[in-house]
Amino acid sequence: MTLRHLFTISALTASLCFSAGKAIASTPQQTESFEMWPGAQYSPSIPTLKSVLGYNTGERITTHSDMLTYFEALAEAAPERVHLVKYAESWEGRALIYVAIGLPEHIKDLEQFAANMNRLADPRKTSRDEANKLIASLPSSVWLQHGVHGNEISSTDAAMMTAYHLLAAQNDPLTAKVLKNTLVFIDPLQNPDGRTRFTHNYYSSTGLQDSDDRLSVDQNEPWPRGRSNHYLFDMNRDWLAITQPETLGRVNALNHFKPTVVIDLHEMGSDSTYFFVPAASPVNPHMQRAQLDNNDLIGRNNGKHFDRMGFDYFTREVYDAFYPGYGDSWPTFYGASAATYEVASTRGMTFRNKDGKVNHYRDPVQKHFVASLSTLEAAADNREKILTDFYQYQVNAIEAGKKDDERTFIIPATTDRAGSHRLATLMATHGVEVKQAGESFKACGTRYNKGAYIIDTAQPRGRFVKTTFTRQVDMAESFIKEQERRRARKLDDEIYDVTAWSLPLLFNVKTDSCDDGLSVKGSYVTPDMPLKGNVDKPDVSVAWLVPWGDAAAGRFLTAALQQGIHLKSADEAFTLDDKRRFPAGTLIIEVKANGEGTGEKIAALAAQTGALVTGTDSSWVTDGPSFGSRSTPVMSAPNIAMAWDSPTSSLSAGSTRFVIERQFNYPVTAIRTDMLASRNLNHYQVIILPAGWYDGALGQRGAENLKSWVKQGGVLITFAQATAFAASPDNGLLDADPEYSFNDETVEADEQADHRGHVAGSHITDKSQLIRRIENNQRSPDYVAGILAKVEVDQEHWLTAGVNPEVVSLVTGNTIFAPMKLDAGKNVAWYKGADELLASGYLWDENRQQLAYKPFLMVQPSGEGMLIGFTQDPSSRAYMDGLNVMLLNAIFRGAAHASPRR
């Protein structure tokens, strides 16, 4: 049975829908006379795109299903030179593949190639002499990955053209050189669900001819667009947390083969040209000069071919190399030279630029194809240097780790078992060596218990550990100085993405560092190592207790609720008569309130979720609320709805739904946003408004409907801009006020215009006075690309039960709220003081001063219900695991404290 016959019904359905669309859509653009590689002659033994799919390269936007068909045809035509592998499956059941293309001697034993690359990647096992022998015999390897954003369409068609050219080109010196010296891996489509969404929308809306008008439906996708995957993740930001199956499959494949050059092919704004390396500033300081030099070699070779073809391009602008969680930066931390390529998109078959030029789909396809061949040529020409630099990267990483003041990171695994376990197994998934101590040990004056996790940076992945575990990675001082200069001139800054990403901070997991290497008995962590749950007293007469405060307890709660187990949760910490102390939020499952067989269910849930469960034969409490107190409310299984569709931020909606559904296994009902404005919502106990701009879609009518629902016992949870919507005086859902930027300069009275539009005359004596006169005194604070900030947490409120006194949150944007007044509600978490709030990243000083002591989490009672407002998005990118308990409290403990009509 062929690979195609194994694909799911969903992929087949998409293909049938696309085929039906061909009957009503415009005819393919005719490109028979168009040469992708001028002068190339091709062997008839290799099937062309037209012979398999009925059109030439660039004439149509190829669907995921048809892409699979074509690569399968290539593999069948040249099995000795093509190896096709399904490496993952999307949420919607679509296959992700890569193909390896090379000479038969390179293809026949890919596993030996992988073994040799992994030998080259570890100087502790492979001496310099052995490495030199490997370098002399190994080909360089290039991994070309395409279409991580599903609506960046041209790269997948370019991938098929690249594969065809490598297999079919005759008497082509470049191709011969590439195949002799290089093993080529092509990942043709990283996001099949997003691309399928795009192609379906595009071909279902086309008319008699493809429109090049930027206002046309052809050029404007409906929400949520095709950029993201099924759970609406931007998967180019998922390389650190590895939450999506597509990312996990790709990481595993790259770790297996360790290709020495990795190129991520994208699309950018339609009025631009083409971008390739060198990257813009800032550059991550843990990248190595040799890697950047190799990128320069590749970029220069691209420039040579683009000049020959007459293609415009640019380098060193916009697209930086700072954040380590992109598809073009993650591979650099196992030693590859990696880069992003960006081409101006047609976002369909045609697009008219601002200068009036009409670009056709074949144009970006050709540019990506030419850049791919040029890159392969550079890798072939520099085979020995690239492989030598790859080995030297590992040598340098180990030596740098030995000299580092933070040589060893230790995760004590005492306060947050689940978070520590998740962090340890995540690092193992990245390819990092993580040891779990099999005995207690002492390091740098501190004693650690058995079970602690140890990561020594004196290992090949040491630089990855350093850049993801250290609290602060600095941008170049010259770059920061330039950004401050631009801000002073009221120009936009050039920071592309977040400036902080420390995984321990994001997970709110305690880590220590030590400048010594440690010799501790233990075992190495594997990516699939389970978190072991336990019930210490399965047979009890009164209750089972689950201490609250980590993801394992959260998973236990959601599973127990769905199985109909009756349970309570303590608002405050309590102490039993036998002196055992339990934290606020602890789950209480009483034997008499549940039926027979509950003990077996509890044991199964502990094993399934990793939770720790303890039993008690007495409910006598000596401190804190008793089991029958009003402060131990019954937990119910709420029906959760969330806003879905425009104007909700698709990324926020997707990550929120993912965290609840996939990390905590609890269903969410997605509701079109406009339905929230008028429909009866009483079926739901919790409604979530992810980040988004709701004024137009909901407006006062929607606010009134939500307000009425809250008063009847609903729990409305808002994130970021949704909290600003709720706080608008016109909407009146939340009695809190967003702030303007703080400015202690007052506007002079004589600047006020009279009825004729004139102002009084004035003297401006210096530039600083000019700046004050032109300043807008009612503007938002400056935008923050993304920093990690310390948040202080009220320890005496039920909404923060089980949450640490201090947590860390990602802060982006420019919305800052004034503290809520006590007669309206309560600020239950707020940013720390100006001198200590910044945990990591770069924050404008004015924002730092203004953010101090401002709310992060607010709760406002209303009737029988309440509104819980997060001023930032606690689910962003699903990598702030350390805020998940707070989010679960808002949902489940919020529902327990409301009084809806049952």
DSSP secondary structure of 324-377: TTSTTTGGGGGT-EEEEEEEE--SSSEEE-TTSPEEETHHHHHHHHHHHHHHHH
Of all helices (H) and strands (E), which one includes residue 840? Answer: strand 838-840
Number of alpha carbons in the 13 Å side-chain half-sphere of residue 679: 12
Distance between CA atoms of residues 511 and 439, nearest Å: 18
Strand pairing of 408-411 and 358-360?
unpaired
Residue 308, C-beta contacts closer than 8 angstroms, at least 6 positions apart: none
Mark 826-859 as b/e (b = at least 16 C-beta within 10 Å).
Answer: bbbbbbbeeeebbbbbbbbeebbebbbebbbbbb
Distance between CA atoms of residues 622 and 898, nearest Å: 28
Give the chain's length.
902
Phi, psi angle pair for 739, to nearest 5°:
-100, 150
Strand pairing of 408-411 and 169-170?
unpaired
CA distances from 510 to 206, 325, 610, 814, 838 (A): 54, 22, 20, 29, 17
Residue 629, C-beta contacts closer than 8 angstroms, at least 6 positions apart: none
Which DSSP string corresponds to 110-149? Answer: HHHHHHHHHHHT-TTTS-HHHHHHHHHHPPEEEEEEE-SS
Distance between CA atoms of residues 420 and 426, nearest Å: 10
| The pLDDT of residue 12 | 38
- Tokens encoding 759: 């102002």
Q: Is the previous residue joined to 282 through a cis bond, with omega within 30 degrees of 0?
A: yes
| The pLDDT of residue 5 | 43
Distance between CA atoms of residues 641 and 684, nearest Å: 6
Nearest Cα to 791, choosing from 757, 755, 823, 827? Answer: 827
| The pLDDT of residue 760 | 75
Beta bridge partners of 686: 640, 715
Angle between helices 551-562 and 417-429 (to 10 degrees): 110
Beta strands in 636-764 (DSSP E): 640-644, 669-672, 686-689, 715-719
Distance between CA atoms of residues 538 and 58, nearest Å: 65
Angle between helices 383-403 and 110-120 (to 10 degrees): 40
- Tokens encoding 4: 């195609």
Which DSSP string corresponds to 243-300? Answer: -SHHHHHHHHHHHHH--SEEEEEEEE-TT--EE-SSPEEEE-TTS-HHHHHHHHHHHH
- Tokens encoding 242: 């590895």
**641 burial class (0-12, 13-18, 19+ CB within 10 angstroms)?**
buried
Q: Is the pTM of this model over 0.85?
A: yes
Nearest Cα to 671, choosing from 684, 658, 655? Answer: 684
Distance between CA atoms of residues 606 and 535, nearest Å: 7
- Tokens encoding 422: 């998740």
Coil/strand/helix, residue 304 = helix
Distance between CA atoms of residues 278 and 317, nearest Å: 9
Q: Under a CB-based contact definition with an 8 Å cutoff, are residues 383 and 182 in contact? A: yes
Distance between CA atoms of residues 294 and 263, nearest Å: 12
Q: Which residues of the chain have pLDDT under 50?
A: 1-26, 31, 746-751
Residue 759, C-beta contacts closer than 8 angstroms, at least 6 positions apart: 750, 751, 752, 753
Tell me the pLDDT tens digit for each residue of 627-665: 999 999 999 999 999 999 999 999 999 999 999 999 999
Q: Under a CB-based contact definition with an 8 Å cutoff, are residues 368 and 268 in contact? A: no
Beta bridge partners of 340: 264
| The pLDDT of residue 1 | 41
Distance between CA atoms of residues 477 and 323, nearest Å: 16
Distance between CA atoms of residues 451 and 539, nearest Å: 27
- Tokens encoding 837: 């709030």
Q: Under a CB-based contact definition with an 8 Å cutoff, are residues 785 and 497 in contact? A: yes
- CA 474 centroid distance within chain: 21
| The pLDDT of residue 36 | 97
